[in-house]
Each structure stands twice: as structure tokens, then as C-alpha cells.
Amino acid sequence: MKIKSADFVMSNSNVINCPKDHLPEYAFIGRSNVGKSSLINMLTQRKGLAKTSGRPGKTQLINHFRINDNWFLVDLPGYGYARVSKKDKKTFQKYITDYFIERQQLVCAFVLIDIRHEPQKVDLEFLEWMGENQIPFCMIFTKADKLKPKAIENHVNEYINQLLEGVWEEAPKYFVTSSTNGMGQEELLGYIDELNTNFFKEVR
């Protein structure tokens, strides 16, 4: 899919105030600093579209970007950020969980995981929460440029095996990406294109 336009629409902290358009929507979620905003910029090839930072906690609101005038990418704040209180760390920020539960237009959420690390408790808990609440999602391994091909394969396999040893009967669909070298861009845009086609078939 070719990206012809990518425009920032609005930021807000309540799903009720999100755009009313009935267009297919894809949201990026994951730990702070995992690379959600960078991936939006990589996919759209617009460097400064979503604000990024080397310090966690950069994205603070629900940010809508309209792509090719007929679908949305949504940049969300991260979870698991060390500076939030212990109480908040346990659960996920309410406006984020409300977004996932209530946003009818959400076609697929992308849960980002840093490919370099062992499975982290907070990510496993979030994946479980998505499953329990029947939110459609895929996993995206980020920062693959930091590992050699063999290590990429090993880390992904270890992650998937750990999910299968835990509560998951079937591995979620996943992509391997790098915002630095563009790995995964075509696959991810191709998948979104497919889902968009189905979305518009169903509403017609």
C-alpha cells in the first residue's frame, strides 16, 4: 500500500471524544519507549508525524492520524512507565483500557514488544488482558536492527514458546520490525490493506 497522505487529527484523553468517522482504525500499544511513535513514522515515512523521544513517557494522549483519507493510525501512551505510582503500574491507565473496550472502529491493535528482552511480566499481563477482553490484536517485535538475524529468530521463538507454555493455546500473529531500517514495513502495510478491504466489504 502506498501512503499518499498522513495527517494528525486530534489528541485527547477520552475515547468518547475520538473521531466519530466510521473508518477502520489500528492502535499501537506497548511499554513506554518500545517504539510505538517511531513505528508510526516509519510506516507513514513521515519523520516527525508522531512525537518520539529517547526518554519514556513521551506520548501522553490518544493521538489519531488519518491515513490516505480513509483509515486511522492511533498512537497511545505506553504502560509500565517507572514514574507512575505503584497502584497505576499494576493496572493499565483507565483511558487506555476504555479505549480498547469501547472503540468500535478498532480493527486490530498492535502490541509492541522490544525484541531484545526476555518476556516481561507487564507485557504478558497486557497480552492476557487483551485476550480476556477479546480485543483483536497482533504482536509487533520492535528494534530488530539491534540483533543479528539468528538472534532475531531465537528471541521470537523463545517468546512464542513462552506464550504457548503459559495461558495461550495458539500463538498470536506477529511481525518483526525496525523503525531504523524499515524492516517489516511492507508486511505490516500489506496486512492493514487486507483488513481495510474486509472492513469496507462488511460495511457495504
Residue in 95, 122, 180, 195 binding ligand GTP, rule: CB under 6 A: 180
Instruction: Provide the minimum distance between the beta carbon of 57 and Mg ion in the complex, in angstroms, as a whole number.
Output: 9
Q: Which residues contact 17 (CB under 8 A, 6 or more apart)?
A: 10
Q: Does 179 bind ligand GTP (CB under 6 A)?
A: yes
Spell out where the chain has E strands: 6-12, 25-30, 62-67, 71-75, 106-114, 137-142, 174-176
State CA 120 to chain mean position distance: 16
The entry of Mg ion, ligand GTP, none that residue 56 binds, CB within 5 to 8 Å by partner kind: ligand GTP
User: Of 176, 198, 199, 195, nearest to 187 (Cα)?
Assistant: 176
Q: Does 48 bind ligand GTP (CB under 6 A)?
A: no
Q: Does 196 bind ligand GTP (CB under 6 A)?
A: no
Give the binding site for Mg ion (CB under 5 A): 36-37, 58-59
State CA 99 to chain mean position distance: 13
Which string of DSSP letters, residue by residue, matches 40-58? HHHHHT-TTSS---SSS--
Which residue's CB atom is positioned nearest to Mg ion?
A: 59
Residue in 142, 147, 156, 191 binding ligand GTP, rule: CB under 6 A: 142
Q: Does 58 bind ligand GTP (CB under 6 A)?
A: yes
Residue showing cell 492520524:
65
Which residue's CB atom is positioned nearest to ligand GTP?
A: 78
* Amino acid identity, position 181: N
Residue in 5, 14, 45, 53 binding ligand GTP, rule: CB under 6 A: 53
Q: Does 155 bind ligand GTP (CB under 6 A)?
A: no
Chain residues in the site for ligand GTP (CB under 6 A)? 32-38, 52-54, 56-59, 77-78, 142-143, 145-146, 178-180
